[in-house]
A = this chain, B = another copy of it.
Amino acid sequence: MHFASDNWSGAHPSIAENLTRYASGFASAYGTSDLDKAVEDRFSAIFERQVAVFFVATGTAANSLALASLAKAGGVSFCHADAHVNADEGGAPEFLTGATRLFPVEGAEGKIDPRALDTAIARFEPASPHHGRPMAVTVTQATEVGTVYSLDELDAIAAVAKSRNLPLHMDGARFANALVSLGLTPAEMTWKRGIDILSFGGTKNGCWCAEAIVFFNPDMAADMPFIRKRSAQLFSKSRFISAQLEAYLDGGLWLELARHSNAMADRLRAGLSAKNTARLAWDTSANEVFAVIERSATERARYKGAKFYDWQPPQGWLPLPAENETLVRLVTSFATTTDEVDQFIEVV
């Protein structure tokens, strides 16, 4: 019963196989091999547009270097208060952008409130050396709390960003889960909404380690080769990323894995909703479930070997758990089985 995180899973067999397949043979290094280029082309095909793709080591690197490509002195980037860049990246976005600042914006359900965003940006306009100047907006899709921005919600964020002349970045650590949840094409959820740069995450959805920064306007990426190397994120045998992504993207495996993962979350949601000892804390659409569960039930589940984390109740937009309850986060992955889900539901 592994619901701690989707990064506790390993790699999908097809991905491991593809690594084995490419293990023999030689190819040029640093992202110049035929396989690297083929995978880059695949990205352009998937996004229905010529894109520039840069592999990096971690999701934190993808987010940080995407922002670094937009960095300017006194720059301020706007994100949700609970966004990964703000809450869980140990200062990497600041460090790797040359000390630009993140400005947290509130909004229910882990989503930036467009009006709060506009108010926040307005604090820094007109730009001044004293208070700094707006530099970027970054949204997380799916969010840290399992919700998914609708097209309208993305459009509203993009409208604010564009009206303020700010580039828009999307942290897609769980991009595939959001995509299949909305039933959209990659293009529809990104550049057609006004997204300029995407952190495309494969690691949480079945790869070992496959994160890419995708620029929808390749001209914006002119400095990226230097920014990436300066941050020690240029792999020599970059084929080992390409090999993962080739298998990941091939035949829509990535979407299939995300659909499975989301379906397991659906099953969890349905099962928990039907219990007396548990209720959904809020509605989620991707592969994360947040539930308020009686403490005795969570203890029982852990005793039986279930892995999951307690979660800090968000402030302001949700009734807090009672004394004898706990807010928990349950994450499914490509490797989650229906048995695990059913067993967990039974136990709590």
Contact = CB atoms under 8 A, between A and B. Distances in A.
Nearest to A340: B26
A46 interface: no
Contacts of A130: 30, 87-90, 229
From A4, A17, A73, residue with most partner B Cβ within 10 Å: A73
Interface string A304-319: 0001000000000000
A101 interface: yes
From A90, A132, A133, residue with most partner B Cβ within 10 Å: A90
A95 B88 contact: no
Interface stretch (A5-13, A151-159, A161-169, A293-301): A5-13
Given A7-B237, A23-B16, A240-B208, A90 B74 contact: yes
A233 B87 contact: no
Contacts of A90: 73-74, 128-132, 226, 229-230, 234
A269 interface: no
- Interface range, A side: 35 or more
A150 interface: no
Given A64-B232, A130-B89, A230-B91, A24 B10 contact: yes
Number of identical monomers bound together in the oligomeric complex: 4
A60 B229 contact: yes
A26 B229 contact: no
Contacts of A88: 130-131
Contacts of A5: 29, 236
A89 B56 CA distance: 16
A68 to B, nearest CB: 8
A57 interface: yes
A264 B113 CA distance: 45
A226 B74 contact: yes
Contacts of A281: none
Contact of A94 (B2, B19, B101, B208): B101
Given A226-B74, A237-B209, A232 B89 contact: yes
Contacts of A347: none
A335 interface: yes
A225 interface: yes
Interface string A74-107: 1100000000000111111011111111000000
B232 A92 contact: yes
Nearest to A11: B23
B60 A132 contact: no
A23 B10 contact: yes
Contact of A26 (B8, B58, B74, B209): B8
A343 interface: no
Interface of A: 2, 4-5, 7-13, 15-17, 19-20, 22-30, 56-61, 64-65, 68, 72-75, 87-92, 94-101, 127-133, 203-204, 208-209, 223, 225-237, 239-240, 307, 335
The 10 nearest A-B residue pairs measured at CB: A90-B229, A129-B229, A57-B57, A61-B232, A74-B226, A208-B240, A7-B236, A73-B226, A16-B23, A95-B99
